[in-house]
Amino acid sequence: MKKILLIFFLFSICFLNDVDSQGSLNLYFDHLTIKEGLSHNTVNCVIQDKYGYIWIGTNNGLNKYDGFSFKYYNNTSNGNTKFFKGKHISDIFEDSKGNLWVGTKNNGINFKRFDKSSFINLNNDPRFIQIKNSPINSIKEDNNGNIWICTMGKGLLKYIPSNKTVKVYNKSNTNLYSNVVFDVLEDHKKRIWVATEGPGINLLKKNEKFQLLHSNDQGDISGYRKVLKQDRNNIWIGVEGSGLYKMSKEN
């Protein structure tokens, strides 16, 4: 961990010092592959946790990098990784308490408490039975500490830590346009916006029902998309194959 922190400190110094007379920035990269111990050369997601460790999700398991070497987690690992399930890692999220949530393509979610070294797969937890072995697209946290889980076909789940319960949002119970949920966003007014398969974006109303908001042009925004908040008035929606959309929330 100390090496990781040192690397980032030195990088910040290099960032200031490595600008040439023409104003060009000279960046230096380390290339980490299976030759250096990474479990797979296809990397789907990466985060740095609050301790400085780098977590890397690949098509062949989860990697923890300490600046020197990799520790490997998948469903064939032994020892303190025996509860981890899944090889294709789709998303990694660290919540405000330092807990890690790791989404997979075929094995649901793996969870690690901030004060534990091992993971627990949530497939056998009755609260998460709705998404057992389901593909996970995205995991987010709102300002109240609730965890939102976007799935490929099972809708949207909200885990409420305050009472340790799970609420499921899907087509049948909340008018969500599709159970294929790509991403979720909370804006500055604490409104929840959900990107699903379909022609628009879903807004969660106060009655816990969704309203589908359509694009004002004929563009196709039905493909895979990510949602990014840029400022207080706009939401940016990136769509596979259709470019980038900017939506005004106030209009």
Q: How confident is the model at residue 246 (pLDDT cuts 50, 70, 90)?
A: confident
* CATH topology (fold) of 37-124: Thrombin, subunit H (2.40.10)
Residue 224 pLDDT grade (very low, low, confident, very high; cuts 50, 70, 90): low
Which residue ranges does the chain devote to CATH 2.130.10.10? 135-250
Task: Please answer whether residues 202 and 214 qualify as being in contact, where contact means their C-beta atoms are separated by less than 8 angstroms.
Answer: no
Share of the chain above pLDDT 70, in %: 81
Average pLDDT of every residue of the chain: 85
What is the signed CA dihedral for 131, 99, 208, 204, rounded to 10 degrees? -100
Please state the separation of Cα 149 from the chain's center in Å.
9
Quote the distance between the C-alpha of residue 183 and its chain's center. Answer: 8
With 0-12 / 13-18 / 19 or more C-beta atoms within 10 angstroms meaning exposed / middle / buried, residue 125 is middle
pLDDT tens for each residue of 81-125? 458 999 999 999 999 999 999 999 999 999 999 999 889 999 989
- Looking at CATH, the fold of the domain delimited by 135-250 is given as Methylamine Dehydrogenase; Chain H (2.130.10)
Q: What is the pLDDT of residue 215?
A: 64
Q: Model confidence at 9, in pLDDT bands (50, 70, 90)?
A: very low
Task: Enumerate the CATH 2.40.10.500 domain ranges in the chain, comma separated.
Answer: 37-124
pTM: 0.84
Long-range contacts of 229-234 (CB under 8 A, 24+ apart): 229/185, 229/187, 229/188, 232/187, 232/188
Average confidence (pLDDT) over 58-67: 96
Rounded Cα gap, residues 131 and 135, in angstroms: 8
